[in-house]
Structure 1
Amino acid sequence: MSLPRALAALRPTADGFAAAIPEDWMQGRTAYGGFSAALALHAAQRLADDLPPLRSAQVSFVGPLAGEVSVSARILRRGRNASWISAQVVSEAGVGLTATFVFMGAVEHSPLHLHDVPLPRDLIPLDQAVPLPLRAGPSFAPNFDRRFALPQSEGKEPVICWWERLRDAEGLDPMVALILLADALPPGVMPLTGPVPISSMTWLVNLLTPQPETDDGWFLLRAAGNYAEKGCSSQDMAIWNTRGEAVAVGMQSIALFG
Protein backbone atom coordinates (compact mmCIF):
# COMPACT_ATOMS: atom_id res chain seq x y z
CA MET A 1 0.00 0.00 0.00
CA SER A 2 1.45 3.38 -1.02
CA LEU A 3 1.49 6.38 1.31
CA PRO A 4 -1.26 8.15 -0.70
CA ARG A 5 -3.53 5.13 -0.16
CA ALA A 6 -2.58 4.93 3.53
CA LEU A 7 -3.42 8.62 4.01
CA ALA A 8 -6.75 8.13 2.26
CA ALA A 9 -7.62 5.46 4.85
CA LEU A 10 -6.84 7.59 7.93
CA ARG A 11 -9.39 7.68 10.75
CA PRO A 12 -9.76 11.02 12.58
CA THR A 13 -9.24 11.03 16.35
CA ALA A 14 -9.66 13.69 19.02
CA ASP A 15 -6.07 14.94 18.69
CA GLY A 16 -5.00 13.69 15.27
CA PHE A 17 -5.62 10.49 13.36
CA ALA A 18 -5.16 6.73 13.45
CA ALA A 19 -3.27 4.98 10.68
CA ALA A 20 -2.24 1.44 9.81
CA ILE A 21 1.40 0.72 8.97
CA PRO A 22 1.30 -1.39 5.80
CA GLU A 23 3.41 -4.55 5.81
CA ASP A 24 5.28 -3.40 2.72
CA TRP A 25 6.51 -0.32 4.59
CA MET A 26 8.12 -2.33 7.39
CA GLN A 27 11.85 -2.55 8.11
CA GLY A 28 12.32 -5.55 10.34
CA ARG A 29 10.04 -5.17 13.37
CA THR A 30 9.37 -1.47 12.89
CA ALA A 31 8.08 0.86 10.21
CA TYR A 32 10.53 2.39 7.75
CA GLY A 33 11.62 5.66 9.36
CA GLY A 34 10.71 7.86 6.40
CA PHE A 35 7.13 6.52 6.47
CA SER A 36 6.67 7.28 10.18
CA ALA A 37 8.23 10.73 9.78
CA ALA A 38 5.95 11.45 6.81
CA LEU A 39 2.90 10.58 8.93
CA ALA A 40 4.13 12.98 11.63
CA LEU A 41 4.66 15.78 9.09
CA HIS A 42 1.22 15.21 7.61
CA ALA A 43 -0.27 15.59 11.12
CA ALA A 44 1.68 18.82 11.67
CA GLN A 45 0.55 20.32 8.36
CA ARG A 46 -3.11 19.64 9.21
CA LEU A 47 -3.00 22.02 12.19
CA ALA A 48 -3.08 25.20 10.07
CA ASP A 49 -3.78 26.09 6.46
CA ASP A 50 -1.42 29.07 6.40
CA LEU A 51 1.86 27.51 7.54
CA PRO A 52 5.00 28.81 5.79
CA PRO A 53 7.29 26.27 4.08
CA LEU A 54 8.95 23.51 6.08
CA ARG A 55 12.62 24.35 6.71
CA SER A 56 13.78 21.86 9.34
CA ALA A 57 12.77 18.53 10.90
CA GLN A 58 14.26 16.98 14.04
CA VAL A 59 13.18 13.36 14.44
CA SER A 60 13.81 10.83 17.23
CA PHE A 61 13.14 7.16 16.59
CA VAL A 62 12.20 6.13 20.11
CA GLY A 63 10.80 2.62 19.65
CA PRO A 64 9.29 0.15 17.17
CA LEU A 65 6.11 1.03 15.30
CA ALA A 66 3.85 -1.58 13.73
CA GLY A 67 0.18 -2.27 13.17
CA GLU A 68 -2.21 0.56 13.99
CA VAL A 69 -0.67 3.78 15.27
CA SER A 70 -1.98 7.08 16.61
CA VAL A 71 -0.49 10.28 15.20
CA SER A 72 -0.91 13.64 16.91
CA ALA A 73 0.61 17.11 16.67
CA ARG A 74 0.50 20.38 18.58
CA ILE A 75 1.70 23.91 17.96
CA LEU A 76 4.60 24.89 20.21
CA ARG A 77 4.89 28.47 18.97
CA ARG A 78 3.70 30.59 16.09
CA GLY A 79 5.86 33.66 15.55
CA ARG A 80 5.62 36.37 12.93
CA ASN A 81 7.84 34.44 10.53
CA ALA A 82 8.35 30.94 11.94
CA SER A 83 6.23 28.22 13.54
CA TRP A 84 7.31 25.23 15.64
CA ILE A 85 5.11 22.13 15.72
CA SER A 86 5.75 18.90 17.60
CA ALA A 87 4.32 15.55 16.56
CA GLN A 88 4.44 11.99 17.78
CA VAL A 89 3.53 8.55 16.53
CA VAL A 90 2.38 6.02 19.14
CA SER A 91 1.64 2.30 18.94
CA GLU A 92 0.45 -0.23 21.52
CA ALA A 93 4.09 -0.51 22.64
CA GLY A 94 4.26 3.22 23.40
CA VAL A 95 5.84 6.24 21.76
CA GLY A 96 7.72 5.22 18.62
CA LEU A 97 8.61 8.58 17.07
CA THR A 98 8.76 12.19 18.15
CA ALA A 99 9.46 15.10 15.83
CA THR A 100 9.75 18.86 15.86
CA PHE A 101 9.08 20.67 12.60
CA VAL A 102 10.05 24.27 11.91
CA PHE A 103 8.13 26.17 9.24
CA MET A 104 9.59 29.51 8.18
CA GLY A 105 8.78 32.15 5.61
CA ALA A 106 11.29 33.99 3.46
CA VAL A 107 13.21 37.02 4.78
CA GLU A 108 13.25 38.94 1.52
CA HIS A 109 15.70 41.67 2.60
CA SER A 110 18.45 39.23 3.70
CA PRO A 111 21.59 39.96 1.57
CA LEU A 112 23.38 36.64 2.18
CA HIS A 113 23.50 34.07 -0.64
CA LEU A 114 25.44 30.83 -0.01
CA HIS A 115 24.93 27.55 -1.88
CA ASP A 116 27.85 25.23 -1.08
CA VAL A 117 26.60 21.65 -1.28
CA PRO A 118 28.56 20.27 -4.26
CA LEU A 119 27.49 17.17 -6.13
CA PRO A 120 29.55 14.01 -5.51
CA ARG A 121 32.56 13.49 -7.76
CA ASP A 122 32.30 10.86 -10.51
CA LEU A 123 28.50 11.08 -10.45
CA ILE A 124 26.80 8.77 -12.95
CA PRO A 125 24.08 10.66 -14.87
CA LEU A 126 20.58 9.38 -14.21
CA ASP A 127 20.06 8.11 -17.76
CA GLN A 128 23.27 6.04 -17.53
CA ALA A 129 22.78 4.72 -14.00
CA VAL A 130 22.22 0.98 -13.49
CA PRO A 131 19.11 -0.06 -11.52
CA LEU A 132 19.51 -1.93 -8.26
CA PRO A 133 18.13 -5.50 -8.20
CA LEU A 134 14.39 -5.36 -7.56
CA ARG A 135 14.51 -7.67 -4.54
CA ALA A 136 17.61 -6.15 -2.94
CA GLY A 137 17.22 -4.50 0.45
CA PRO A 138 14.53 -4.39 3.16
CA SER A 139 10.83 -5.09 2.62
CA PHE A 140 9.99 -1.42 1.97
CA ALA A 141 12.49 -1.16 -0.91
CA PRO A 142 10.01 -2.06 -3.71
CA ASN A 143 8.20 1.23 -3.00
CA PHE A 144 11.16 2.99 -4.69
CA ASP A 145 12.92 2.97 -8.02
CA ARG A 146 16.68 2.92 -7.31
CA ARG A 147 19.81 3.30 -9.41
CA PHE A 148 23.52 3.28 -8.52
CA ALA A 149 24.87 6.85 -8.77
CA LEU A 150 28.62 6.25 -8.30
CA PRO A 151 31.07 3.85 -9.98
CA GLN A 152 31.99 0.76 -8.03
CA SER A 153 35.00 1.52 -5.84
CA GLU A 154 38.03 -0.76 -5.60
CA GLY A 155 38.23 -0.12 -1.87
CA LYS A 156 35.40 -0.04 0.65
CA GLU A 157 34.30 3.46 1.61
CA PRO A 158 31.57 4.51 4.08
CA VAL A 159 29.49 6.14 1.35
CA ILE A 160 26.24 5.16 -0.39
CA CYS A 161 24.90 7.30 -3.22
CA TRP A 162 21.83 6.32 -5.26
CA TRP A 163 19.29 7.90 -7.55
CA GLU A 164 15.84 7.25 -6.05
CA ARG A 165 12.19 8.08 -6.63
CA LEU A 166 8.87 7.07 -5.11
CA ARG A 167 6.84 4.76 -7.27
CA ASP A 168 3.59 6.34 -6.09
CA ALA A 169 3.60 9.98 -4.96
CA GLU A 170 0.30 10.97 -6.56
CA GLY A 171 -1.43 13.69 -4.56
CA LEU A 172 1.26 13.88 -1.87
CA ASP A 173 2.42 17.23 -0.57
CA PRO A 174 5.95 17.69 -2.04
CA MET A 175 7.54 18.02 1.40
CA VAL A 176 5.79 14.91 2.72
CA ALA A 177 6.98 13.03 -0.37
CA LEU A 178 10.56 14.27 0.16
CA ILE A 179 10.61 13.25 3.85
CA LEU A 180 9.23 9.85 2.85
CA LEU A 181 12.09 9.44 0.39
CA ALA A 182 14.89 11.08 2.37
CA ASP A 183 15.61 8.14 4.71
CA ALA A 184 15.63 5.48 1.98
CA LEU A 185 19.38 4.79 1.85
CA PRO A 186 21.13 2.16 3.99
CA PRO A 187 23.60 3.62 6.50
CA GLY A 188 26.71 5.05 4.88
CA VAL A 189 28.94 2.64 6.83
CA MET A 190 27.14 -0.42 5.45
CA PRO A 191 29.85 -1.08 2.81
CA LEU A 192 32.25 -1.57 5.73
CA THR A 193 29.98 -3.70 7.91
CA GLY A 194 27.97 -5.74 5.44
CA PRO A 195 24.32 -6.56 6.25
CA VAL A 196 24.00 -6.14 10.03
CA PRO A 197 20.98 -5.18 12.15
CA ILE A 198 20.69 -1.40 12.52
CA SER A 199 18.41 1.08 14.23
CA SER A 200 18.19 4.79 13.47
CA MET A 201 18.14 6.87 16.65
CA THR A 202 17.95 10.55 15.63
CA TRP A 203 17.64 12.35 12.32
CA LEU A 204 18.01 16.03 11.45
CA VAL A 205 16.90 17.33 8.05
CA ASN A 206 17.36 20.94 6.91
CA LEU A 207 15.43 21.90 3.79
CA LEU A 208 17.31 24.12 1.33
CA THR A 209 14.29 25.04 -0.74
CA PRO A 210 10.74 26.09 0.11
CA GLN A 211 9.39 23.85 -2.67
CA PRO A 212 11.29 20.69 -3.71
CA GLU A 213 11.19 20.22 -7.49
CA THR A 214 12.83 17.70 -9.80
CA ASP A 215 12.29 15.85 -13.07
CA ASP A 216 10.07 12.76 -13.11
CA GLY A 217 10.31 12.33 -9.35
CA TRP A 218 14.03 11.45 -9.25
CA PHE A 219 16.38 12.71 -6.52
CA LEU A 220 20.03 11.95 -5.75
CA LEU A 221 20.59 10.71 -2.18
CA ARG A 222 23.96 10.43 -0.44
CA ALA A 223 24.85 9.09 3.02
CA ALA A 224 28.44 9.38 4.22
CA GLY A 225 29.51 7.81 7.49
CA ASN A 226 32.00 9.89 9.46
CA TYR A 227 32.13 8.05 12.80
CA ALA A 228 31.53 4.54 14.12
CA GLU A 229 32.62 3.28 17.51
CA LYS A 230 31.22 0.59 19.82
CA GLY A 231 27.98 0.32 17.85
CA CYS A 232 27.25 4.04 17.48
CA SER A 233 27.55 5.60 14.03
CA SER A 234 27.08 9.14 12.73
CA GLN A 235 26.58 10.18 9.12
CA ASP A 236 26.07 13.23 6.93
CA MET A 237 23.29 13.16 4.35
CA ALA A 238 22.36 15.24 1.31
CA ILE A 239 19.76 15.28 -1.45
CA TRP A 240 19.94 16.93 -4.89
CA ASN A 241 17.39 17.21 -7.69
CA THR A 242 18.04 16.19 -11.30
CA ARG A 243 19.33 19.70 -12.10
CA GLY A 244 22.11 19.31 -9.52
CA GLU A 245 20.50 21.69 -7.03
CA ALA A 246 20.78 20.70 -3.36
CA VAL A 247 17.33 20.46 -1.78
CA ALA A 248 18.18 19.06 1.68
CA VAL A 249 21.06 18.20 4.00
CA GLY A 250 21.02 16.26 7.23
CA MET A 251 22.68 14.17 9.90
CA GLN A 252 21.69 10.87 11.44
CA SER A 253 22.80 8.77 14.39
CA ILE A 254 22.51 5.01 13.95
CA ALA A 255 22.95 2.04 16.27
CA LEU A 256 24.86 -0.87 14.71
CA PHE A 257 24.28 -4.33 16.18
CA GLY A 258 27.14 -6.10 14.45
Structure 2
Amino acid sequence: MSLLQTYQAIAEQEWIDIPLGWLQGRTIYGGLVAGLMMQKAQLCIADPKKRLLSSSVTFVGPVQQGRARLTAEILREGKSVTSVEVRLWQDDAVQSILIASFGAARESSIVVQQERTAPNFPPATELPVTQHHPLAPECFQQMDLVWSEGQYPFTASHKPDFAGWMRFNPKQHTNRAMTIADLMVAFDMWPPGVLPMFEQLAPASSLTWHVTYVNPLQNQLQDWMKYKVFTDHASGGYATEYAHLWDDQDRLIAIARQTITVFA
Protein backbone atom coordinates (compact mmCIF):
# COMPACT_ATOMS: atom_id res chain seq x y z
CA MET A 1 0.00 0.00 0.00
CA SER A 2 1.39 3.42 -0.98
CA LEU A 3 1.46 6.45 1.29
CA LEU A 4 -1.35 8.03 -0.72
CA GLN A 5 -3.51 4.95 -0.29
CA THR A 6 -2.81 4.98 3.44
CA TYR A 7 -3.69 8.68 3.67
CA GLN A 8 -6.97 7.91 1.89
CA ALA A 9 -7.72 5.14 4.38
CA ILE A 10 -7.17 7.61 7.24
CA ALA A 11 -9.75 9.92 5.65
CA GLU A 12 -12.33 7.13 5.49
CA GLN A 13 -11.97 5.24 8.78
CA GLU A 14 -10.39 5.16 12.24
CA TRP A 15 -8.67 1.80 11.77
CA ILE A 16 -5.92 1.47 9.15
CA ASP A 17 -3.35 -1.09 8.08
CA ILE A 18 0.19 0.24 8.46
CA PRO A 19 1.89 -0.18 5.04
CA LEU A 20 4.66 -2.72 4.56
CA GLY A 21 8.30 -1.73 4.08
CA TRP A 22 8.64 0.69 7.00
CA LEU A 23 10.11 -1.44 9.79
CA GLN A 24 12.93 0.02 11.89
CA GLY A 25 14.16 -3.13 13.56
CA ARG A 26 11.11 -4.92 14.97
CA THR A 27 8.93 -1.81 15.17
CA ILE A 28 7.58 0.79 12.74
CA TYR A 29 9.77 3.75 11.79
CA GLY A 30 8.84 6.79 13.89
CA GLY A 31 8.70 9.19 10.96
CA LEU A 32 5.93 7.14 9.36
CA VAL A 33 4.01 7.11 12.65
CA ALA A 34 4.35 10.90 12.87
CA GLY A 35 3.31 11.31 9.24
CA LEU A 36 0.16 9.21 9.70
CA MET A 37 -0.83 11.22 12.77
CA MET A 38 -0.15 14.49 10.92
CA GLN A 39 -2.42 13.38 8.09
CA LYS A 40 -5.17 12.72 10.65
CA ALA A 41 -4.56 16.15 12.20
CA GLN A 42 -4.88 17.94 8.85
CA LEU A 43 -8.13 16.13 8.07
CA CYS A 44 -9.44 17.17 11.47
CA ILE A 45 -8.58 20.84 10.89
CA ALA A 46 -10.04 20.97 7.37
CA ASP A 47 -9.31 24.71 7.04
CA PRO A 48 -7.11 25.72 4.07
CA LYS A 49 -6.45 29.14 5.65
CA LYS A 50 -4.67 27.55 8.60
CA ARG A 51 -1.24 26.09 7.94
CA LEU A 52 0.93 24.01 10.25
CA LEU A 53 2.94 26.10 12.70
CA SER A 54 4.43 23.41 14.91
CA SER A 55 3.95 19.85 16.08
CA SER A 56 5.20 17.80 19.00
CA VAL A 57 5.36 14.00 18.95
CA THR A 58 5.88 11.66 21.88
CA PHE A 59 6.68 8.06 21.02
CA VAL A 60 5.02 6.38 23.99
CA GLY A 61 5.55 2.75 22.99
CA PRO A 62 6.63 0.58 20.05
CA VAL A 63 4.26 0.56 17.07
CA GLN A 64 4.00 -2.86 15.44
CA GLN A 65 3.26 -3.90 11.88
CA GLY A 66 -0.47 -4.45 11.47
CA ARG A 67 -3.67 -2.62 12.38
CA ALA A 68 -3.70 0.71 14.20
CA ARG A 69 -6.40 3.15 15.29
CA LEU A 70 -6.08 6.93 14.90
CA THR A 71 -8.21 9.30 16.96
CA ALA A 72 -8.23 13.10 16.89
CA GLU A 73 -9.56 15.81 19.18
CA ILE A 74 -9.66 19.58 18.68
CA LEU A 75 -8.20 21.00 21.91
CA ARG A 76 -9.02 24.61 21.07
CA GLU A 77 -10.25 26.40 17.97
CA GLY A 78 -9.61 30.11 17.91
CA LYS A 79 -9.96 32.72 15.18
CA SER A 80 -6.27 32.43 14.27
CA VAL A 81 -4.94 29.20 15.83
CA THR A 82 -6.38 25.71 16.18
CA SER A 83 -4.68 23.05 18.30
CA VAL A 84 -5.38 19.36 17.79
CA GLU A 85 -4.26 16.16 19.50
CA VAL A 86 -3.94 12.88 17.60
CA ARG A 87 -3.35 9.48 19.21
CA LEU A 88 -2.27 6.23 17.61
CA TRP A 89 -3.59 3.12 19.37
CA GLN A 90 -2.62 -0.54 19.25
CA ASP A 91 -3.65 -3.33 21.65
CA ASP A 92 -6.01 -0.93 23.47
CA ALA A 93 -3.07 1.30 24.45
CA VAL A 94 -1.80 4.67 23.22
CA GLN A 95 1.52 4.15 21.44
CA SER A 96 2.15 7.66 20.06
CA ILE A 97 0.73 11.17 20.57
CA LEU A 98 0.94 14.22 18.29
CA ILE A 99 -0.10 17.73 19.29
CA ALA A 100 -0.11 20.21 16.42
CA SER A 101 -0.94 23.90 16.08
CA PHE A 102 -2.31 25.33 12.84
CA GLY A 103 -2.60 29.06 12.30
CA ALA A 104 -3.96 31.58 9.83
CA ALA A 105 -1.77 34.49 8.74
CA ARG A 106 -2.25 37.72 10.70
CA GLU A 107 -1.13 41.29 10.05
CA SER A 108 2.06 42.11 11.94
CA SER A 109 4.74 44.78 11.82
CA ILE A 110 7.33 42.32 13.17
CA VAL A 111 9.44 40.69 10.46
CA VAL A 112 12.65 38.82 11.33
CA GLN A 113 14.65 36.78 8.83
CA GLN A 114 17.61 35.27 10.67
CA GLU A 115 17.11 31.64 9.69
CA ARG A 116 20.12 29.38 9.29
CA THR A 117 21.68 29.56 5.84
CA ALA A 118 21.61 26.34 3.86
CA PRO A 119 25.01 24.58 3.67
CA ASN A 120 26.83 24.63 0.35
CA PHE A 121 27.07 21.01 -0.81
CA PRO A 122 28.24 19.56 -4.11
CA PRO A 123 25.20 18.61 -6.22
CA ALA A 124 23.52 15.42 -5.06
CA THR A 125 23.97 13.93 -8.53
CA GLU A 126 27.76 14.15 -8.09
CA LEU A 127 27.79 12.23 -4.80
CA PRO A 128 27.06 8.54 -4.10
CA VAL A 129 23.71 7.58 -2.64
CA THR A 130 24.24 5.63 0.58
CA GLN A 131 23.82 1.93 -0.13
CA HIS A 132 21.40 -0.07 1.99
CA HIS A 133 23.43 -2.22 4.38
CA PRO A 134 21.94 -5.68 5.10
CA LEU A 135 21.85 -4.81 8.82
CA ALA A 136 20.30 -1.37 8.29
CA PRO A 137 16.59 -0.87 9.08
CA GLU A 138 14.16 -1.82 6.33
CA CYS A 139 12.69 1.69 6.26
CA PHE A 140 15.94 3.19 4.90
CA GLN A 141 15.07 1.74 1.49
CA GLN A 142 12.21 4.24 1.28
CA MET A 143 14.61 7.20 1.00
CA ASP A 144 17.80 8.19 -0.81
CA LEU A 145 20.35 9.63 1.63
CA VAL A 146 23.60 11.28 0.50
CA TRP A 147 26.23 12.09 3.13
CA SER A 148 27.98 15.43 2.43
CA GLU A 149 29.50 16.20 5.85
CA GLY A 150 30.49 14.07 8.82
CA GLN A 151 30.92 10.34 9.27
CA TYR A 152 28.58 7.41 8.78
CA PRO A 153 26.93 5.75 11.81
CA PHE A 154 28.92 3.19 13.83
CA THR A 155 32.34 4.41 12.67
CA ALA A 156 33.74 5.34 16.12
CA SER A 157 33.98 9.00 15.12
CA HIS A 158 35.32 11.41 17.74
CA LYS A 159 32.61 13.88 16.76
CA PRO A 160 28.84 13.57 16.30
CA ASP A 161 26.65 15.05 13.57
CA PHE A 162 26.48 15.09 9.79
CA ALA A 163 24.69 16.71 6.87
CA GLY A 164 23.59 15.75 3.39
CA TRP A 165 20.93 15.44 0.73
CA MET A 166 17.73 13.40 0.93
CA ARG A 167 14.68 12.53 -1.17
CA PHE A 168 12.03 9.82 -1.46
CA ASN A 169 13.44 6.86 -3.40
CA PRO A 170 12.11 7.09 -6.99
CA LYS A 171 11.95 3.29 -7.17
CA GLN A 172 9.62 3.19 -4.16
CA HIS A 173 7.51 6.34 -4.63
CA THR A 174 5.77 7.83 -7.66
CA ASN A 175 6.58 11.51 -8.01
CA ARG A 176 3.89 13.96 -6.85
CA ALA A 177 3.50 17.12 -4.81
CA MET A 178 4.92 16.75 -1.32
CA THR A 179 2.52 17.18 1.61
CA ILE A 180 3.01 18.07 5.27
CA ALA A 181 2.45 14.42 6.18
CA ASP A 182 5.18 13.45 3.69
CA LEU A 183 7.48 16.03 5.30
CA MET A 184 7.06 14.35 8.69
CA VAL A 185 7.71 10.94 7.13
CA ALA A 186 10.92 12.13 5.43
CA PHE A 187 12.39 14.46 8.07
CA ASP A 188 12.98 11.74 10.67
CA MET A 189 14.72 9.31 8.32
CA TRP A 190 18.24 10.46 9.20
CA PRO A 191 19.70 8.59 12.19
CA PRO A 192 20.46 10.40 15.48
CA GLY A 193 23.44 12.73 15.35
CA VAL A 194 25.41 10.70 17.92
CA LEU A 195 25.36 7.47 15.89
CA PRO A 196 28.73 8.16 14.15
CA MET A 197 30.33 7.95 17.61
CA PHE A 198 29.09 4.40 18.20
CA GLU A 199 31.90 1.85 18.02
CA GLN A 200 29.56 -0.99 17.08
CA LEU A 201 25.93 -1.62 16.19
CA ALA A 202 23.61 -0.57 19.02
CA PRO A 203 20.10 0.88 19.13
CA ALA A 204 19.03 4.47 19.60
CA SER A 205 15.48 5.74 19.36
CA SER A 206 13.45 8.95 19.43
CA LEU A 207 11.64 9.77 22.65
CA THR A 208 10.21 13.19 21.75
CA TRP A 209 10.30 15.11 18.47
CA HIS A 210 9.25 18.73 17.99
CA VAL A 211 8.98 20.19 14.46
CA THR A 212 8.50 23.85 13.58
CA TYR A 213 7.28 24.45 10.03
CA VAL A 214 8.82 27.60 8.52
CA ASN A 215 8.24 28.08 4.78
CA PRO A 216 5.50 26.39 2.72
CA LEU A 217 6.46 23.30 0.75
CA GLN A 218 6.93 23.75 -2.99
CA ASN A 219 8.48 20.33 -3.54
CA GLN A 220 7.88 17.10 -5.36
CA LEU A 221 8.62 13.82 -3.57
CA GLN A 222 11.66 13.19 -5.75
CA ASP A 223 13.20 16.65 -5.30
CA TRP A 224 16.40 16.70 -3.28
CA MET A 225 16.41 18.47 0.10
CA LYS A 226 19.28 19.44 2.41
CA TYR A 227 19.57 18.26 6.03
CA LYS A 228 21.95 19.15 8.86
CA VAL A 229 21.92 17.97 12.49
CA PHE A 230 23.69 19.35 15.59
CA THR A 231 23.92 17.53 18.94
CA ASP A 232 23.74 19.88 21.94
CA HIS A 233 24.41 17.36 24.67
CA ALA A 234 24.65 13.62 25.30
CA SER A 235 25.19 11.77 28.57
CA GLY A 236 23.56 9.19 30.81
CA GLY A 237 21.95 7.36 27.92
CA TYR A 238 20.13 10.36 26.42
CA ALA A 239 20.98 12.97 23.78
CA THR A 240 19.34 16.20 22.65
CA GLU A 241 19.78 17.56 19.12
CA TYR A 242 18.29 19.94 16.59
CA ALA A 243 18.14 19.71 12.80
CA HIS A 244 17.31 21.94 9.85
CA LEU A 245 15.76 21.01 6.51
CA TRP A 246 16.03 23.13 3.35
CA ASP A 247 14.57 22.56 -0.11
CA ASP A 248 16.66 22.47 -3.28
CA GLN A 249 16.24 26.27 -3.61
CA ASP A 250 17.85 26.72 -0.14
CA ARG A 251 14.57 27.81 1.47
CA LEU A 252 14.38 26.77 5.13
CA ILE A 253 11.38 24.44 5.39
CA ALA A 254 11.46 23.10 8.94
CA ILE A 255 13.41 22.93 12.19
CA ALA A 256 13.32 19.92 14.50
CA ARG A 257 14.38 19.35 18.11
CA GLN A 258 14.64 15.81 19.36
CA THR A 259 15.37 13.85 22.53
CA ILE A 260 17.10 10.52 21.85
CA THR A 261 17.49 7.44 24.01
CA VAL A 262 20.97 5.98 23.53
CA PHE A 263 21.78 2.31 24.24
CA ALA A 264 25.57 2.47 23.90
- State TM-score, norm by structure 2: 0.87
What is the CA-CA distance between 1:90 and the residue it aligns to?
A: 0.8
Work out the number of aligned pairs and report it.
253
Partner amino acid for 1:249?
A: I
Q: CA deviation at 1:214?
A: 3.6
Distance change in 2, residues 1:80/1:202 (3 Å): same
Report the alpha carbon displacement of residue 165 of structure 1 after superposing the two structures with TM: 1.1
The answer to whether structure 1 residue 38 and structure 2 residue 35 are counterparts is: yes
Q: Which shifted more, 187-196 or 68-77?
A: 187-196
Deviation at 1:104, TM superposition (A): 1.1
- Give the secondary-structure state (helix, strand or coil) at the position aligned to 1:186: coil
> Matches of 1:250 and 1:58 in 2, distance apart?
10
Alignment of 1:59-78 (within 5 A): 59-66=57-64, 67-78=66-77
Counterpart in 2 of 1:124? Answer: 122
Q: Shift of the alpha carbon at 1:22?
A: 2.8
Q: Does 1:50 align with 2:47?
A: yes
Deviations 1:119-167 (A, max 9, x none): 23x6333232221113463110111122122266996421122211123
**What are the equivalent positions in structure 2 for 1:64-213 lying under 5 Å apart?**
64-66=62-64, 67-92=66-91, 94-120=93-119, 123-135=121-133, 137-150=136-149, 156-167=158-169, 168=173, 174-194=179-199, 195-209=201-215, 211-213=216-218
Residue number in structure 2 paired with 1:223: 229
Aligned letter for 1:97?
A: S
**Structure 1 SS opposite 2:186:** helix
**Does the C-alpha gap of structure 1 residues 60 and 169 become closer, same or farther in structure 2, counting only changes over 3 Å?**
farther
Long gaps (5+) in structure 1: none
| Structure 1 position 169, deviation (Å) | 6.0
Change (3 A) 1:101 1:231: same
Distance 1:254 1:231 in 2: 8
- Partners of 2:133 and 2:238 lie apart in 1 by 28
Runs of at least 5 residues in structure 2 that lack an aligned partner in the other structure:
none
Secondary structure at the aligned position of 1:164 is classed as strand
Which deviates more from structure 2 when the two are superposed, residues 27-36 or residues 134-143?
A: 134-143
Cα deviation, 1:191-240, whole Å, max 9, x if unaligned, reads 1114311121000000111x212464221122222211111111111101
Q: CA RMSD in A?
A: 2.3
State the TM-score, normalizing by the size of structure 1: 0.89
Task: Single out whichever of 222-231 and 60-69 deviates more from structure 2.
Answer: 222-231
Paired letter, 1:176: A
- Measure the CA separation in 2 of the matches of 1:116 and 1:170: 29
Residues 27 and 62, structure 2, Cα contact 8 Å, conserved in 1: yes
Specify which of 241, 245, 255 is matched with residue 235 of structure 1: 241
AA matched with 1:134 = H
SS of the residue corresponding to residue 44 of structure 2 reads: coil
Assess if the C-alpha contact under 8 Å between 1:54 and 1:103 holds in 2.
yes
Letter in 1 for 2:161: V
Contact kept? 1:4, 1:172, Cα under 8 Å: no
* Contact 1:4–1:169, Cα closer than 8 Å, also in 2: no
